[in-house]
């Protein structure tokens, strides 16, 4: 029986063992891992800082190896390979012999030779042990920096933010993620990171790590200095080729073991896979190509030489600190003759670029920042050379119609690779569904291993599952996620009927596992929409801004937006806002929703500002939540000679009625006093326009990057009827819409469209009209000002501070004056 030794027990080493046993290759397998624990998920390492344990990250427990007849040695570093005798030796003196040796030693962090790199407070970001040291040291400091603005560097930055540290990212290049993003995409990402309070320093070459024993700051080549107390180096990787090099195997000049298309080294009995391998002068730093290498070596050992390693597509999609980033194909447009088409929405932080062939027929690659929902489809269009539409720009600037994404998935050939990590094609997935009886995403994951690597393919795998089941005549149940076997609407009813008040109760009684980034905010939204209780009482939140009841802004400060119903405000209240803004040095602006926004508040100032506003008769405008924002109005018949109804009074009544109402997405409304439509009611989630006979009610419109006109629901209704229909419409939306779905999208996806909505809301075809009205009345009755709750509760008020372990303010905030007001300093530089 063949004896196989695997050197290295990272993700790729583990995957080799898994594939070997799945192929039922008769062989003794012995694994030597340098770390003290079995292989764990390095891709999601940053989740360790947000609550995941080392056990949660394990690829498989130690018992898995024993169950599959694999001998696992942990904490054992292989230091010597005797190729003539086919033996290895470890640092403890243990020797072992092999027929085949698989090097899966991975890589180590590249640490540049900078003066002072040995100082206390300097760390790398690679193992769980590294993370534990960073966590322990982080408890004693307030300010830290990451060296490196690439993928790993930004992941490390996320970890420091999770530790509550003031965070800097230092990058040598002129932009973030220089291998994946162009300048415009990098600038959008830079803006997003600055909103999270991260300061990015570009074009910085670190000359010296200063300090007396411990780190005190970074000296740059341009003579500038950055005072920090901790540095995490994440400036790239170096293949772990020491033992290979010592044994005489051929290595690349820049490091790494040279391999051929079979992943053989210069010794035919020794293979190299993962980040230690160099194929065609390329080191692959992603997990998917490592898994592909593992599969090919397993085939070699099994006697199957039909598959070669011929390079790997390095497209990637990930979420960096909550920001979606995708880079696929020829992302930077380096193909001769390629033509770029770009869309940029600075307001919403979205950048999309596609590069098309010179003849306009093929998609070559592209970049997505802020909204990577189309990544999977675009990637497949590149990989399968699918024809572009007649107007390629419609891919990124046109509003997708109903079913467009599904149509894209349908058009993919069976050979299309959907899961790069496990090399799973569309045909593989369809076969499991049509012939093996798989009906759930969970079962599809188990049977194919799709979605179990980086997870980026999950949306497309789910689309294929649903479309295939529908083609078979199977009714597809739209479960919220893998932790809940219910739709959002079903969970809404369960929570309401059973009186559940927390995410933990919902998960314990009706879910499984620990939850995820899909179900936690979705359930938080349901709890808020059903009970309308103080949002800070919940352990989970729907939106990051809910945590401090304010929108975090550029530079790390917050904005304060008091409610100004209908845009009407007395001179006394205007004076009060001016006085408070002046006292706290806040920038002020009248918003498009007829409110006054005050920018530049430090987090510890928020309760103080709210307390003064409340004393002057103001309350929270809920500008930070997925809730009712504003009801905009014109002056109507009170002042305007064209007005036919009192639009201001009605707008104030409507805003006071629905203030604080939580929903799947934000809500905006407007009331216009005549058909001249000065309040722009037809671009709102619900809009009311006065007629001589009463009111016209429009629903399901929105502005933004994909504007849509609202649809006329009823005409010439009286005030009471109009309010009743809005009650029903909003409650029906809250009850049935998917998470994070605007009313416009909700209507677009609704079977029967506006006609069906009219039957439900106006004709009460489902017989639920009275119930919807009662539910709305209950929410209205439970309204509270969330700011007031914080002001009056010492425990909640104490949570509003910049440092979790110190009451100090953020001393690094800096502003400049422009047009008589303050602005964050980096705006002025740009």
How far apart CA 637 and CA 647 sit, in angstroms, is 7
Q: What is the mean pLDDT of residues 100-122?
A: 94
pLDDT at 398: 54
Least confident of 18-32, 340-354, 639-653, 680-694: 340-354
Give residue-wise pLDDT tens across range 683-738: 999 999 999 999 999 999 988 766 789 999 999 999 999 999 999 999 999 999 98
Cα 357 from Cα 712, distance rounded (Å): 43
* pLDDT band, very low/low/confident/very high, at 545 (cuts 50, 70, 90): confident
Question: What is the location of CATH 3.50.50.60 in the chain?
Answer: 2-108+239-301, 122-235
Alpha-carbon span 614 to 603, nearest angstrom: 18
Q: What is the structure's pLDDT at 830?
A: 45
Residue owning tokens 């560097």: 153
Rounded to 10 degrees, what is the CA torsion of 597, 602, 604, 609?
-30
pLDDT in tens, 633-689: 999 998 898 999 999 999 999 999 999 999 999 999 999 999 899 999 999 999 999
CA distance 282 to 290: 12
Please tell me the predicted confidence (pLDDT) of residue 574.
95
Above 50 in pLDDT, residue 9? yes
Mean pLDDT along residues 219-237: 94
Give the per-residue pLDDT at 399. 40
pLDDT above 60 (res 828): no
Q: Cα(627)–Cα(629) distance, rounded to whole angstroms?
A: 6
Distance CA 526, CA 506 (A): 11
* CATH 3.30.413.10 domain extents, the chain: 629-784
Structure tokens at 415: 């050979």
User: Do 235 and 153 meet the contact criterion of CB atoms below 8 Å apart?
Assistant: yes
* Residue 286 or residue 404, greater confidence: 286
Share of the chain above pLDDT 70, in %: 97
Q: Which residues of 362-396 are buried (b: 16+ CB within 10 A; e: fewer)?
A: bbbbbbbbbbbebbbbbbbbbbeebebeeebeebb
- Over residues 37-55, the pLDDT tens digits come to 999 998 888 888 877 888 9
Given a cut of 90, is residue 217 above it in pLDDT?
A: yes
> In angstroms, rounded to a whole number, what is the distance separating the alpha carbons of residues 402 and 365?
25
Helix (H) or strand (E) holding 526: helix 519-531
Q: For residue 66, what are the contacts with CB-CB under 8 A and spacing of at least 6?
A: 72
Q: Is the confidence at residue 35, as pLDDT, over 60?
A: yes
SS3 annotation, 343-398: EEECCCCEEEEEEECCCCCEEEEEEEECCCCCHHHHHHHHHCCCECCCCCCHHHHC
Q: What fold is seen in the domain 629-784?
A: Sulfite Reductase Hemoprotein; domain 1 (3.30.413)
Q: How confident is the model at residue 400 (pLDDT cuts 50, 70, 90)?
A: very low
| Residue of 324, 345, 322, 349 whose CA lies nearest to 707 | 345
For residue range 775-787, list pLDDT tens digits in order: 999 999 999 999 9
**Rounded CA separation 433/354 (Å):** 33
Task: Calculate the average pLDDT of the chain.
Answer: 90
Q: Which helix (H) or strand (E) holds 199?
A: strand 199-201
User: Does the pLDDT of residue 178 top 80, yes or no?
Assistant: yes
CA separation for the pair 410, 513 (Å, rounded): 32
State residue 482's pLDDT score: 82
- Cα four-point dihedral sign 25, 30, 34, 39: positive
> What average pLDDT does range 398-407 have in this prediction?
42
Classified by CATH at the fold level, domain 122-235 comes out as: FAD/NAD(P)-binding domain (3.50.50)
Is 326 within 8 Å of 380 (Cβ atoms)?
no
Report the pLDDT value the prediction gives residue 434, as an integer from 0 to 100: 92
> Is 403 a residue whose pLDDT tops 50?
no
Closest CA to 271 of 104, 21, 32: 104
**What kind and span of H or E run contains 818?**
strand 815-818
In tens, the pLDDT along 747-767 reads: 988 888 899 999 999 999 999
**What is the percentage of the chain residues whose pLDDT exceeds 90?**
63
- How distant is the alpha carbon of residue 677 from its chain centre? 38
Chain-centre distance for alpha carbon 106: 27
Query: Which of 46-50, 172-176, 196-200, 523-527 has the least mean pLDDT?
Result: 46-50
Higher model confidence: residue 403 or residue 95?
95
Q: Identify whether the C-beta of residue 538 lies closer than 8 Å to the C-beta of residue 545.
A: no
Using alpha carbons, select from 351, 355, 350, 353 the residue that is nearest to residue 365.
Answer: 355
DSSP summary character for residue 565: G
User: Contact at 8 Å (CB) between 623 and 787?
Assistant: no
Residue carrying structure tokens 């779905």: 741
Q: Could you report the per-residue pLDDT of 266-278, keeping only the tens digit for each? A: 999 999 999 999 9
What is the rounded CA–CA span in Å between residue 168 and residue 802? 15
For 2-108+239-301, CATH gives 3.50.50.60
Q: Give the pLDDT mean for 383-412.
A: 68
CA atoms within 13 Å, Cβ hemisphere of 553: 22
**Residue 405 pLDDT > 50:** no
Residue 404 pLDDT more than 60? no
Q: What is the CA radius of gyration of the chain?
A: 29
The tokens 């893998």 sit on which residue? 482
User: What does the pLDDT read at residue 750?
Assistant: 86
Could you read off the pLDDT of 145-177 as tens digits, one per residue?
999 998 888 888 888 988 889 999 999 999 999
The DSSP code sequence of 317-342 is EEEETTEEEEEEESTT--STT-EEEE
Res. 97 pLDDT band, cuts 50 70 90: very high
């Amino acid at each position: 029986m063949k004896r196989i030794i695997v050197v290295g027990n990272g993700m790729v080493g583990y995957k080799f063992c898994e594939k070997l046993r799945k192929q039922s290759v008769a062989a003794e397998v012995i694994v030597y891992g340098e770390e003290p624990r079995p292989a764990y998920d390095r891709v999601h390492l940053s989740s360790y800082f947000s609550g995941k344990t080392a056990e949660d990250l394990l690829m498989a427990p130690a018992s898995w190896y024993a169950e599959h007849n694999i001998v696992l040695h942990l904490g054992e570093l292989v230091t010597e390979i005797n190729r003539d005798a086919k033996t290895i030796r470890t640092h403890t003196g243990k020797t072992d012999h092999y027929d085949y040796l698989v090097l899966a030693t991975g890589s180590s962090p590249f640490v540049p030779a900078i003066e002072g790199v040995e100082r206390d407070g300097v760390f790398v970001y690679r193992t769980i042990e590294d993370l534990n040291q960073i966590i322990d040291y982080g408890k004693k400091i307030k300010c830290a920096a990451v060296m490196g603005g690439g993928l790993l560097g930004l992941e490390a930055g996320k970890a420091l933010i999770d530790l509550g540290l003031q965070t800097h990212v230092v990058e040598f290049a002129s932009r973030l993620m220089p291998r994946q993003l162009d300048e415009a995409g990098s600038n959008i990402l830079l803006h997003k990171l600055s909103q999270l309070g991260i300061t990015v320093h570009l074009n910085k070459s670190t000359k010296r790590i200063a300090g007396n024993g411990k780190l005190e700051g970074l000296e740059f080549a341009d003579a500038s200095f950055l005072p920090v107390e901790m540095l995490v180096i994440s400036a790239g990787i170096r293949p772990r080729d020491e033992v290979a090099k010592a044994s005489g195997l051929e290595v690349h000049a820049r490091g790494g073991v040279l391999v051929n298309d079979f992943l053989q080294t210069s010794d035919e009995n020794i293979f190299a896979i993962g980040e230690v391998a160099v194929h065609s002068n390329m080191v692959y730093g992603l997990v998917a190509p490592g898994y592909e290498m593992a599969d090919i070596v397993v085939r070699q050992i099994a006697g199957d030489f039909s598959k070669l390693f011929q390079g790997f597509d390095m497209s990637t999609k990930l979420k960096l600190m909550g920001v979606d980033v995708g880079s696929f194909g020829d992302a930077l447009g380096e193909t001769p003759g390629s033509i770029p088409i770009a869309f940029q929405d600075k307001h919403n932080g979205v950048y999309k670029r596609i590069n098309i062939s010179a003849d306009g027929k093929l998609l070559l690659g592209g970049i997505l920042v802020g909204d990577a929902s189309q990544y999977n489809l675009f990637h497949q269009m590149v990989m399968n050379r699918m024809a572009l539409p007649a107007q390629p720009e419609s891919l990124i600037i046109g509003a997708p119609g109903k079913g467009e994404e599904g149509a894209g998935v349908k058009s993919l050939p069976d050979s299309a690779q959907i899961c790069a990590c496990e090399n799973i094609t569309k045909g593989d997935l369809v076969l499991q569904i049509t012939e093996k009886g798989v009906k759930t995403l969970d079962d599809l994951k188990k049977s194919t291993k799709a979605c179990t690597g980086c997870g980026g393919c999950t949306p497309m795998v789910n689309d294929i599952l649903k479309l295939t089941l529908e083609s078979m005549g199977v009714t597809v149940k739209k479960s919220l996620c893998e932790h809940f076997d219910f739709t959002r609407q079903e969970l809404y009813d369960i929570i309401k009927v059973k009186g559940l008040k927390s995410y933990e109760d919902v998960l314990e009684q009706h879910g499984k596992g620990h939850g995820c980034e899909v179900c936690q905010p979705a359930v938080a939204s349901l709890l808020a929409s059903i009970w309308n209780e103080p949002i800070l009482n919940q352990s989970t939140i729907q939106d990051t801004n809910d945590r401090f009841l304010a929108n975090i802004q550029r530079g790390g400060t917050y904005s304060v937006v008091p409610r100004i119903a209908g845009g009407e405000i007395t001179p006394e209240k205007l004076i009060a806002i001016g006085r408070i803004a002046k006292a706290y040095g806040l920038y002020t602006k009248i918003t498009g929703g007829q409110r006054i926004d005050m920018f530049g508040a430090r987090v510890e100032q928020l309760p103080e500002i709210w307390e003064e506003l409340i004393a002057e008769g103001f309350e929270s405008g809920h500008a930070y939540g997925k809730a009712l924002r504003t009801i905009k109005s014109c002056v109507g018949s009170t002042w305007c000679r064209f007005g036919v109804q009192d639009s201001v009074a009605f707008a104030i009544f409507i805003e006071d009625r629905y203030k604080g109402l939580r929903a799947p997405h934000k809500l905006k409304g407007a009331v216009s006093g005549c058909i001249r439509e000065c309040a722009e009611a037809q671009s709102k989630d619900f809009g009311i326009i006065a007629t001589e006979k009463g009111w016209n009610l429009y629903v399901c419109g929105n502005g933004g990057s994909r504007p849509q006109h609202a649809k006329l629901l009823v005409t010439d209704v009286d005030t009471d009827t109009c309010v009743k229909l809005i009650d029903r419409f909003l409650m029906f939306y809250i009850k049935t819409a998917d998470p994070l779905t605007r009313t416009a999208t909700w209507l677009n996806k609704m079977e029967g469209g506006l006609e069906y909505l009219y039957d439900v809301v106006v004709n009460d075809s489902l017989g639920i009209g009275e119930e919807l009205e009662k539910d709305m009345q209950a929410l209205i009755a439970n309204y509270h000002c969330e700011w007031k709750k914080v002001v009056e509760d010492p425990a909640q008020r104490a949570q509003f501070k910049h440092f979790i372990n110190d009451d100090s303010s953020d001393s690094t905030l800096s502003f400049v004056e422009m047009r008589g007001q303050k602005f964050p300093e980096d705006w002025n530089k740009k």
